[in-house]
Structure 1
């Protein structure tokens, strides 16, 4: 068996890899699918609810468990790929992703679907660390690598935005299961192409994989996410607060353990470098905000304005187009304006989008939402691309793989936590406004749980009562969206100030060297 080449040293200048752009196409195809699955169910949720009838908490788990599992495992799977081979990890993960898609598509219960989404997250966690680290190895020229990272970031960002569009088309013309079946042929073609095209790489390692650290990181992130979800929902029960504190404690133990290891899963000292920390925070909080926004706006389009799934998906297109434009322009702007300026402009545009949504007169109209989506997409494209470039370039070459894992962890965890945290805040604000309802008992509780529950109750009771319930739910959802937009704007403004303070003037992106 041919031994896989090791990570090139900082002084190596290897010849350009033949077929490198075809390899990038394979990696981007997989990345698009993994990123798309984070949001593809947003517009499929009403159809899914009618079929599986999940509770409000099951709805949130169906949407965000994928990103939480993926984000929680990325550090560990990145380390596994370094030791066992990045191509092997990539192909194994994508095969698992395809099998999990079949499990999810054949679900007959909410919990089977949640289980399928867990396996999708596991497969995605095996794929995503491999993409950026393989790009690091395949592209040996600094300028080509910077362009490849820009394309990688554009695909990752656009994937989250086109998910609702593709999901809406599939749901309306088929069923919600089609949102998963569409993965299978892409997986087959990509795996075959990957076997033929991709090279294998293993980084030089010393020591065994830190399985104790892996368990600490996974358990810490899961506990933290669970605690945030329930506390944000308004639950201050001892077990929920305790779970939140347990997550923080486990991650603190993980960080302390990594500081003592010669070959850690994650070199936490990297976070002591200002630009690295700023880029990680920018990615996490930008995706937290936009992930929740896409989720809530997709529901708003369908329940408040009555659009079909495909019509709702089409109306999220401004975010995808603006995201693509921002991502592809970011390398050019960084070259001429500097990293700090691009990060500030990107995050500032995100904040402006949320403020526009917050101050828009109610009831909110689609033209306003279209402008909001364009601002969110443009700002996210600029910020995420600049952040990914900063994370790779601000660390020594031997840590580039870990930098990629941090970038992808922040991206996916941000999407999952955005739905969990801001989705819960929106749910609590919605329920607080659903007080004067001409209902009683279980019908009243169901209507206060979610706008989907209110639509179901309105359909069952019918008549004037049904119309009153639906009107109240639409008004409450719109008002809660305003509240959530203010919270999101505050988060993004905070991280914008931190990024400007932590990234020094004149900081340059060098493509990984």
Structure 2
């Protein structure tokens, strides 16, 4: 195989002690990007109080980041394979940092939406690049599995510490600080990345397929938008149906085009390897369950239990602490009992964590939740093996495609989780809080509609009408959390069975690549 540019493959990179320092740069950048996503959830109330956005603007503040990332992931990964993954990563750092600076000048909801969109551009450059660069830095399979364990742990830490950092900043500074915290870290990351990371690219890139670029962007944005619209307005929503039709048409054409070309924008033929498919399934289902459940869990802790944002962040820590232990240890465990056992077993353990939420004694208390969060965090250790399986199934020159597949799996899984599990929880909540139930509490008309729309709405109505509506609404929300937990358990256990079926018994992640 033609040597990497400018670093030769194999021994030079493998023996370079800077590869672990390079991993620190990649892990820190991923940590910050994931934290930034979760910090926004904490900062939204302060942004709303300051800028007074309408409902549409508020939704776009939340959604635009995911839409931009979804649209750019495939294209940016393909460009990184051609232009250089280190260049793409450093450029992503610069874009992310510049967008974070621009928030100082964001005095309107539209300006905040624009900043979030630019952050999405930077995030799309950073997230798959960190994964493909690990493939470059660690050509030895055993070391790469360990490195991916650290990478997966940092993602879990970022998701857990985001609300804590955000809560601390918002208690002492304005909401702008939630963005400005990125700037010094990105500046350090640029310098460290330039010094520590080797360049890598596909040595024989084909011409960029511009029609496929357009199809991938249109299809992925339409898909994520359709999922989000269906989750908010129902499966029969006209916008959701139209977006879904665009997604099916564009992505179907994209898949057909990719399978027919010798040098596609995204190497979908990687899915012909069962283990590669197993890794992608594990990544998507884990993110699906995690995104939906964590959204509901944060609301339960703040609106039902009465914890503040900082207290909520602290009480979500069992997931991160368990993941910090499990993710780095997963490769060593896989070496003893087999990657298939760890990959499927991790999903099953996470499924048991979700089951605890549905089967725990009622009323649901924090210690039951803490046990569930710990099991979910332990199960997330399997994601380290999922990443290793995905990256091991791709040749070095296709590392960008493999990283794009994994990040796309996360993105779609996260959107599906919020849409599907969020919609299920809303349906259970509305069922428990029926019009007859509300009428018996003296709540009718528009007030009843507001109360059934969300727990926040019910608490607002309760504040003006009094009575026992607040307690009834909190009980209904807790019931919805329990039903969603059982559903998440079913999803995770089904995924565990599928992954066990797809993953070869004798898969060896420790073999070096040549």
Distance 2:411 2:39 in 1: 14
Name the SS of the counterpart of 1:37 in structure 2: helix
Q: Is the 8 A contact 1:97 1:119 kept in 2?
A: yes
After superposition, what is the alpha-carbon deviation per residue over 1:125-171, rounded to whole angstroms, capped at 9, x for unaligned? 10122212222222344433332222122212322222222223223
Q: Is the 8 A contact 1:229 1:424 kept in 2?
A: no
Q: Any stretches of 5+ residues in structure 1 without a counterpart?
A: none
Q: Is the 8 A contact 1:7 1:203 kept in 2?
A: no
After superposition, what is the alpha-carbon deviation per residue over 1:454-475, rounded to whole angstroms, capped at 9, x for unaligned? 334444x2xxx24533223312
Residue 199 of structure 1 corresponds to which residue in structure 2? 198
Shift of 1:376: 1.1
After superposition, what is the alpha-carbon deviation per residue over 1:39-92, rounded to whole angstroms, capped at 9, x for unaligned? 223344444555556667766654454344324422211111111121221111
Distance 1:336 1:293, change over 3 A: same
Residue 446 of structure 1 corresponds to which residue in structure 2? 450
Q: Is the 8 A contact 1:42 1:299 kept in 2?
A: no
Shift of 1:271: 1.1
Q: Is the 8 A contact 2:136 2:396 kept in 1?
A: no
After superposition, what is the alpha-carbon deviation per residue over 1:188-236, rounded to whole angstroms, capped at 9, x for unaligned? 2212222333332222233321222122122112212222223344240
Distance 1:376 1:156, change over 3 A: same
Shift of 1:355: 0.9
Distance 1:103 1:135 in 2: 30
Name the SS of the counterpart of 2:425 in structure 1: helix
Name the SS of the counterpart of 1:195 in structure 2: helix
Distance 1:178 1:457, change over 3 A: farther
Distance 2:177 2:466 in 1: 31
Distance 1:159 1:103 in 2: 23
TM-score, normalised relative to structure 2: 0.90
Residue 262 of structure 1 corresponds to which residue in structure 2? 262
Distance 1:215 1:404 in 2: 20
Residue 84 of structure 1 corresponds to which residue in structure 2? 83
Shift of 1:347: 0.3
Distance 1:243 1:168, change over 3 A: same
Please, which moves more after superposition, 138-147 or 20-29? 138-147
Q: What are the residue-to-residue correspondences of 1:265-414 with 2, within 5 Å?
A: 265-380=265-380, 382-414=381-413
After superposition, what is the alpha-carbon deviation per residue over 1:305-340, rounded to whole angstroms, capped at 9, x for unaligned? 111111111000101101111101111111001111
Distance 2:36 2:54 in 1: 21
Residue 251 of structure 2 corresponds to which residue in structure 1? 251
Distance 1:488 1:423, change over 3 A: same
Shift of 1:283: 0.2
- Aligned-CA RMSD value: 2.6
After superposition, what is the alpha-carbon deviation per residue over 1:408-435, rounded to whole angstroms, capped at 9, x for unaligned? 2222332233223322332333334333
Distance 2:459 2:106 in 1: 24
Q: Any stretches of 5+ residues in structure 2 without a counterpart?
A: none
Distance 2:363 2:446 in 1: 28
Q: What are the residue-to-residue correspondences of 1:5-16 with 2, within 5 Å?
A: 5=5, 16=15
Residue 169 of structure 2 corresponds to which residue in structure 1? 170
Shift of 1:443: 4.1
Q: What are the residue-to-residue correspondences of 1:108-127 with 2, within 5 Å?
A: 108-127=107-126
Distance 1:131 1:471 in 2: 46
Shift of 1:401: 2.7
The count of residues paired between Structure 1 and Structure 2 equals 505
Distance 2:184 2:444 in 1: 48
Residue 227 of structure 2 corresponds to which residue in structure 1? 228
Distance 1:370 1:360 in 2: 11
Distance 1:177 1:458 in 2: 32
Q: Is the 8 A contact 2:33 2:123 kept in 1?
A: yes
Distance 1:181 1:5 in 2: 35
